[in-house]
Amino acid sequence: MNHLNDEILNKYIDNELSDKELSDLNDHIKNCDQCLNLLKAHRLADHHLKKMEISSPSSDFTQRIMQKVQMVSKPFKPKKNYFFRFVFSFMLLLALGIVIFAFANMPSAASEGISVNEYLLEGVSHFFSGYENIIKGRNASIIGSVLSFIILISVYFIYESHKNFKSRLDKLG
Amino acid sequence: MKSLTDTEIIESVNRGNQGDYSLLVDRYKHKGFSLLKRMLRNNQDAEEVLQDSFLKAYQSLQSFRGDAKFSTWFYRIVYNSALSFLSSKRKKLDNDLQSIEDHLELKDSDDHIYAESENVKQYISGIIEKMPEKYAAVITMFYLEEMSLDEISKVTSLSLVNTKVILHRARGILRELILKHNYQEELL
pLDDT at B102 over 70: no
Q: How far is B178 from chain A (nearest CA, A)?
A: 6
Do A150 and A102 have their domain in common? yes
- Which of A46, A64, A76 has the CB atom closest to B16's CB atom? A76
B52 confidence band (pLDDT: 50, 70, 90): very high
Residue A100 belongs to some domain of the structure? yes
Nearest CB partner across the interface for A76, out of B14, B47, B124: B14
Chain B residue with CA closest to A42: the answer is B175
Q: How confident is the model at residue A170 (pLDDT cuts 50, 70, 90)?
A: low
* CB atoms B171 and A66 under 8 Å: no
Eight-state DSSP code of residue B184: G
Highest mean pLDDT (candidates A10-14, A100-104, B103-107, B126-130): A10-14
Residue A25 and residue A87 in one domain: no
Question: What's the whole-number mean pLDDT along residues B90-105?
Answer: 54
Contact (CB<8Å) A61/B59:
no
- A160: in domain: yes
- d(CA A159, CA B5) in angstroms, rounded, equals 28
Contact B55, A72 (CB under 8 A): yes
Q: Is B69 helix (H, G, I), strand (E, B) or coil?
A: coil
Q: At what angle do helices B160-180 and B120-129 cross, to 10 degrees?
A: 140
DSSP code, position A4: P
Chain B CB within 8 Å of residue A116 CB: no
Both A95 and A163 in one domain: the answer is yes
On whether residue A22 sits in a domain, the answer given is yes
Residue A55 Cα, gap to closest chain B Cα (Å): 5
Residue A71 falls inside a structural domain: no
One domain, residues A161 and A91: yes
A6 touches chain B (CB under 8 A): yes
A61 within a domain of the structure (yes/no): no
Q: Which residue of B49, B53, B148, B179 to mutate against A (max A Cβ within 10 Å)?
A: B179
C-alpha span between B112 and A156 (Å, rounded): 71
Question: Tens digits of per-residue pLDDT, A90-137?
Answer: 888 888 887 777 666 666 655 666 677 777 777 777 666 766 666 666
Q: Pick the residue from chain B with its C-alpha nearest to A80.
A: B15
Residue A60, chain B, CB below 8 Å: the answer is no
> Do A100 and A148 fall into the same domain?
yes
Q: What is the ipTM of this complex?
A: 0.82
- In terms of Cα–Cα distance, which of B48, B51, B14, B37 is closest to A62? B51
Contact B51 A45 (CB under 8 A): no
Task: Give yes or no for A164 touching B (CB within 8 A).
Answer: no
The answer on A154 and A87 residing in a single domain is yes
Using DSSP's 3-state secondary structure scheme, residue A55 falls into coil
How far, in Å, CA of B140 to CA of B128, rounded? 9
What domains can you pick out in chain B, each with its CATH number? 6-89 (1.10.1740.10), 95-185 (1.10.10.10)
Give which of B168, B145, B156 is closest to A6, Cα–Cα: B168
Could you tell me if A43 lies within 8 Å of chain B, comparing CB atoms? yes
Determine contact, residues B14/A76, Cβ cutoff 8 Å.
yes
Set of chain B residues whose Cβ sits within 8 Å of the Cβ of A73: 18, 58
**What's the residue count for chain A?**
173
Q: Can you state the percent helix, strand and coil of chain A, rounding each to 5?
A: 75, 0, 25
Inside any domain, residue A59: no
Nearest to B18 among A37, A69, A172 (CB): A69
pLDDT score at B97:
45
Residues A165 and A86 in one domain: yes
**What are A149-162's pLDDT values in tens digits?**
888 888 888 888 88
Which residues span the domain enclosing A160? Answer: 82-172
> Count of domains in chain A?
2
Distance from CA of B98 to the nearest CA of A (A): 23
Q: Specify whether A28 is located in the same domain as A93.
A: no
Q: Supply the pTM of this predicted model.
A: 0.66
C-alpha dist (Å) from residue A1 to A20, A30, A150, B172: 11, 12, 78, 21
- Contact assessment for residue B114 and residue B71, using Cβ atoms and an 8 Å cutoff: no
Alpha-carbon distance of A59 to B18, in angstroms, equals: 21
Q: Rounded CA gap, B2 and A7, in Å?
A: 43
The model's pLDDT over A17-59, given as tens digits with 9 standing for 90+, comes to 999 999 999 999 999 999 999 999 999 999 999 988 889 999 9
**B94: amino acid identity, one letter:** D
Residues A95 and A161 in one domain: yes
Question: Is residue A57 in a domain?
Answer: no
pLDDT tens profile B141-175: 999 989 999 999 999 999 999 999 999 999 999 99
> A145 and A89 share a domain?
yes
